[in-house]
């Protein structure tokens, strides 16, 4: 196991082949727009049944329409408030009853609110923590038990480089929530391994700045160039299908990650 882990980390990225998700059930949160929509559209070509969650009904309908352009793609949409524990539980029960056990869960829903800590409203801080971190607890409690029982499944989380470095761009609540999301993923992976459930996989995706509503909300303007959401979506899907553990986007961020360690 140690040799395989070492080799997979130093081998060229193409060494890890794509897994086949044909016929599997893939649940994506925050799928109505942005990165969630782009990831859904890319996975629509893989033969899976897509289950899309968001509170934006209109945006979900647009994503569904785009995904169904891929031949044979089945799409189910559910209006879910990811800030509400009961809404998550009810939607999860419906999915398991009407569609079946989820094979691949992609925790993508998130929010970014910029501002210096003393200036950010308390409600905005709570909302950031509840959506970017707490919802991951609730999603794991709803879907992980069945994965562990089958010793098969995959949980992918879209975190951030802000979950590794606290940015100077007035983003303390956001970064704290992403640190938490990464801790949840690492903890779940360790728990599963300690139970001998090595068939359950975990992927954490950490993009640097890219064009998004989060970027628009920053109170301090960036002097650096940022990635396109399409580039981040391609890298995210690539990482998930290769079952990579921790993914930095762009790849130059691996150096920063190593230096911090």
Kindly list the catalytic residues: 174
Q: Long-range CB contacts (< 8 A, 24+ apart) of 38-42?
A: 38/229, 38/230, 38/232, 38/233, 39/106, 39/108, 39/233, 39/236, 39/237, 40/66, 40/67, 41/66, 41/67, 41/70, 42/233, 42/234, 42/237
How far is it, in rounded angstroms, from Cα 69 to Cα 2? 43
| Closest C-alpha among 257, 102, 259, 244 to residue 185 | 244
How far is it, in rounded angstroms, from Cα 257 to Cα 71? 40
Contact (CB, 8 A) for 63 and 80: no
């Amino acid at each position: 196991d140690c040799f395989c882990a070492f080799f997979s980390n130093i081998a060229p990225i193409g060494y890890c082949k794509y897994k086949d998700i044909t016929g599997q059930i893939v649940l994506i949160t925050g799928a109505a727009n942005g990165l969630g929509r782009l990831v859904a559209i890319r996975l629509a070509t893989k033969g899976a049944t897509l289950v899309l969650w968001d509170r934006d009904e209109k945006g979900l309908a647009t994503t569904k329409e785009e995904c169904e352009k891929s031949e044979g793609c089945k799409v189910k949409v559910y209006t879910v408030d990811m800030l509400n524990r009961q809404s998550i539980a009810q939607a999860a029960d419906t999915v398991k009853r009407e569609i079946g056990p989820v094979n691949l869960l992609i925790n993508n829903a998130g929010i970014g609110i910029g501002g210096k800590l003393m200036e950010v409203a308390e409600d905005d801080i709570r909302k950031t923590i509840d959506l970017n971190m707490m919802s991951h607890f609730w999603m794991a409690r709803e879907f992980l038990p069945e994965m562990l029982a089958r010793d098969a499944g995959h949980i992918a989380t879209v975190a951030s480089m802000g979950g590794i470095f606290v940015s100077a761009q007035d983003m303390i609540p956001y970064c704290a929530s992403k640190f938490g999301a990464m801790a949840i993923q690492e903890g779940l992976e360790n728990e599963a391994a300690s139970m001998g459930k090595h068939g359950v996989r975990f992927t954490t995706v950490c993009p640097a700045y890219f064009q998004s509503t989060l970027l628009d909300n920053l109170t301090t303007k960036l002097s650096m160039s940022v990635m396109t959401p399409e580039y981040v979506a391609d890298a995210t899907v690539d990482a998930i299908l290769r079952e990579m553990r921790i993914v930095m986007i762009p790849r130059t961020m691996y150096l920063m990650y190593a230096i911090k360690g």
